[in-house]
Amino acid sequence: MTDIDQILKRTPLHALHVELGARMVPFAGYEMPVQYSPGVLKEHLHTREKAGLFDVSHMGQAFLSGADPARALERLTPADAVGLRPGRQRYGLLLNDHGTIKDDFMFSRLVGEDALYIVVNAGTKDGDFAYIADALTGVATIEPRPDRALLALQGPAAAAALERHAPGMDRLGFMQVTRATVAGAPAIVSRSGYTGEDGFEISLAADDAERVAKALLAEPDVLPIGLGARDSLRLEAGLCLYGHDIDETTDPVEANLVWSIAKRRKIDKDFPAAEAIMDRVFHGAARKRVGLRPEGRAPAREGAEIADKSGRIVGRVTSGGFGPTLNAPIAMGTVATKFAGDGTELDLIVRGKPLPARIVPLPFVPHRYRRAQ
């Protein structure tokens, strides 16, 4: 027990989680709140109906600086970094030399600043930063910022709640980003998140995190939400969880994330393993990430095999559970491309028995992002 306590890291909001009655679990090397007293189901539904505050301080924040950090970053991602306008944020895939997915991340260009602000996944951050530092030696410098906390305020009531502590933030459109003052603390605020809802991510100094979190939680519509609901929300939104739906065995085409490869990059083929990836963009990959709706109420979990109607294994569930908004089980998985068409009927093997399911378009629950005006 003591060993675990010593090994697990804590976010700046650890004491607040405990004070709020969270059930703490190990996640990506951190002791994190999986749920608070209402439980995953209610926390999930509350976020869809009103607003939820998530501690995502375990994620890896960094700044990439250099003569042309965007150009440098493009060595490692097929996203359009060079063309990212000031005040905008974008999703990117961090590719390894083989063109498979080392991580997925968000990057931002703040108005009037040369460095790019980057957020990568918690479980991969140390490896990512080492990889970026090594690959971009002499070209750009990655500066991890473990001194910063990250909050996500998500849901239809998020904008009104934030507006009272950071006037003007409602003017941001989806995937816009700015420096701002939130409840008196200097912050980087982006209109983005990972729930499929309108919302914001707020990066701030670790020392300010608890006070700002408490200010936001004092809003009547805002409840603290744990990682359990974060997972079911992102699954309903059809968003990938790194290490589960995508990893270093997946390329962007198999991951069904070709939209994150910019047009210019497709033409220039100047990203890792571009020839091979573009060949698959045009001719198809052997397998593809899809959405699955099991019949009935039994969820199929990660790792469940996917069989065609003759019983042959054609894929595997990569994320599966129960979608509280749909009040039904949902799953994502990879299947042989031949079976990836919408409406295809397959079986998920759950406890040795075939559970009928069909391929459905993603997301399961429509996104409600606030599009830029």
Partner 1 sequence: MSEVRYTDQHEWVRLDGDEATVGITKFAAEKLGDVVFVELPEAGRKIAHGGEAAVVESVKAASDVFAPLGGEVTASNDALAQEPAKVNEDPEGAAWFFKLRLDDRNAFAKLMTAEQYADFVKGQ
String of contacts with partner 1 for each residue 351-370, x by CB under 8 A: x-------------------
Among 47, 108, 178, 232, interactor with partner 1 by CB under 8 A: 232
Contact between 283 and partner 1 by CB under 8 A: the answer reads no
Q: Which is nearer to partner 1, 85 or 351 (CB)?
A: 351
We find the least distance from the C-beta atom of residue 321 to partner 1, in angstroms, to be 6
Terminal Cα distance for the chain, rounded: 52
Q: Which of 40, 59, 64, 72 binds partner 1 (CB under 8 A)?
A: 40
Q: Minimum CB separation from partner 1 for residue 41, in Å?
A: 4
Nearer to partner 1, 62 or 350 (CB): 350
Contact in structure between 315 and 254 (CB atoms under 8 Å):
no
Among 11, 35, 100, 250, binds partner 1 (CB under 8 A): 35
Asked if 298 is part of the footprint of partner 1 (rule: CB under 8 A), the reply reads: yes
233 backbone dihedrals φ, ψ, rounded to 5°: -65, -45
CA distance 193 to 172: 13
DSSP codes of every residue in 252-278 = TTTTT-GGGS-HHHHHHT-STTHHHHH
Under the binding rule (CB under 8 A), the answer on residue 228 touching partner 1 is yes
Q: Quick one: 92 or 321, whose CB is closer to partner 1?
A: 321
Contact status, residue 141 vs residue 124, Cβ threshold 8 Å: no
Q: Is 52 in the site for partner 1 (CB under 8 A)?
A: no
Residue 92 makes contact with partner 1 by CB under 8 A: no
Q: 79-96: string of b/e by CB count within 10 Å (b at 16+)?
A: bbbeebeebbbbbbbbbe
Residues 6+ apart with CB under 8 A from 130: none
What is the x/- site pattern for partner 1, positions 313-352, by CB under 8 A? --------xx-x----x---------------------x-
Q: Cβ 62 to partner 1, closest distance in Å?
A: 31
Of 54 and 271, nearer to partner 1 (C-beta) is: 54
- CB contact at 8 A, 115 and 65: yes
Q: Minimum distance between the CB of residue 259 and partner 1, rounded to whole angstroms? A: 29
Cis peptide before 363 (omega within 30 of 0): yes
Residues 60-89 that bind partner 1 (CB under 8 A): none
Q: Closest CB to partner 1 among 35 and 121?
A: 35
- State how far the Cα of 178 lies from the Cα of 181, in Å rounded to an integer: 10
Cβ closest to partner 1, residue 296 vs residue 341: 296
- In the bound state with partner 1, the residue whose beta carbon lies nearer, of 194 and 322, is 322
Burial 294-333 (b: 16+ CB within 10 A, else e): beeeebbebebbbbbeeeeebbbbbbbbbbbbeeebbbbb
> How far apart are alpha carbons 255 and 319 in whole angstroms?
13
Nearer to partner 1, 87 or 196 (CB): 196
How far apart are CB 229 and partner 1 at their closest, in Å?
Answer: 8
Q: Which amino acid is at 272?
A: P
> Which residues of the chain form contacts with partner 1 (CB under 8 A)?
34-35, 39-42, 44, 228, 232, 297-299, 301, 321-322, 324, 329, 351
